[in-house]
C-alpha cells in the first residue's frame, strides 16, 4: 500500500485536491459545507458522510504523501 502511495506523483495529488476536493466552487466548496455540518452535528445521512469522504480523499492522500516524503 505504501509503495502505491510512493508511486503517486505529488503534483497529481495537488491537482486532485484543488479540483475534486474543492468542487463545486460556488457558492462555497462542498467539503467546507460538509465540515460545517460535521462540526454542528447535522452530518447524519449516509450520503452526506460518503460525500465528505469522497471530497476529503484527495486531501488525505496528499497529506499521507507529504508525511511519507518527510519521513524519508
Q: What is the pLDDT of residues 18-71, one digit of tens each?
A: 998 888 888 888 899 999 999 999 999 999 999 999 999 999 999 999 999 999
| The three three-digit cell numbers of residue 37, written as one number | 455540518
Q: Hey, CA dihedral for 23, 19, 7, 72, is it positive or negative?
A: negative
| The three three-digit cell numbers of residue 42, written as one number | 447535522
CB 37 within 8 A of CB 54: no
CB 51 within 8 A of CB 21: no
CB 25 within 8 A of CB 70: no
| The three three-digit cell numbers of residue 64, written as one number | 499521507
| The three three-digit cell numbers of residue 22, written as one number | 474543492
Amino acid at each position: 500500500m505504501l509503495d502505491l502511495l510512493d508511486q503517486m506523483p505529488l503534483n497529481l495529488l495537488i491537482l486532485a485536491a484543488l479540483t475534486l476536493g474543492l468542487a463545486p466552487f460556488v457558492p462555497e466548496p462542498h467539503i467546507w459545507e460538509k465540515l460545517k455540518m460535521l462540526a454542528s452535528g447535522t452530518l447524519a445521512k449516509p450520503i452526506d458522510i460518503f460525500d465528505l469522504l469522497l471530497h476529503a480523499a484527495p486531501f488525505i492522500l496528499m497529506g499521507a504523501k507529504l508525511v511519507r516524503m518527510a519521513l524519508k
